[in-house]
């Protein structure tokens, strides 16, 4: 899944907090983005987790 403006909008999570960001566009319907305070990211679609990885893979 490509990174676009909707998904790359800056969000911050406090220590120990997990953010669930729901896709707002029609093409994103059914997708949720998972962001932790450590920058780990994954996508949930229809209850399944996909593509867990670091947000900043260079650091």
pLDDT tens digit sequence for 47-56: 777 665 544 4
Query: Looking at the 3D structure of the chain, how many domains does it have?
Result: 1
The answer to whether position 10 is within a domain reads: yes
- Please name which of 45, 39, 9, 44 lies closest in space to residue 53, comparing C-alpha atoms: 39
pLDDT computed for residue 34 by the predictor: 74
Model pTM above 0.75: no
The answer to whether position 59 is within a domain reads: no
11-47: pLDDT as tens digits = 555 666 766 666 666 666 667 777 766 666 677 777 7
Range of the domain at 46: 5-53
The answer to whether position 48 is within a domain reads: yes
The answer to whether position 58 is within a domain reads: no
- Please name which of 41, 17, 16 lies closest in space to residue 31, comparing C-alpha atoms: 41
The answer to whether position 26 is within a domain reads: yes
- Please name which of 55, 28, 31 lies closest in space to residue 41, comparing C-alpha atoms: 55
E strand or H helix that includes residue 8: helix 5-8
40 vs 58: which has the higher pLDDT = 40
């Amino acid at each position: 899944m490509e990174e676009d403006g909707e998904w790359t909008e800056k969000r911050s999570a406090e220590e120990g907090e997990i953010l669930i960001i729901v896709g707002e566009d029609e093409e994103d319907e059914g997708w949720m983005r998972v962001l932790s305070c450590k920058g780990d990211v994954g996508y949930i679609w229809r209850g399944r987790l996909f593509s867990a990885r670091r947000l900043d893979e260079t650091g």
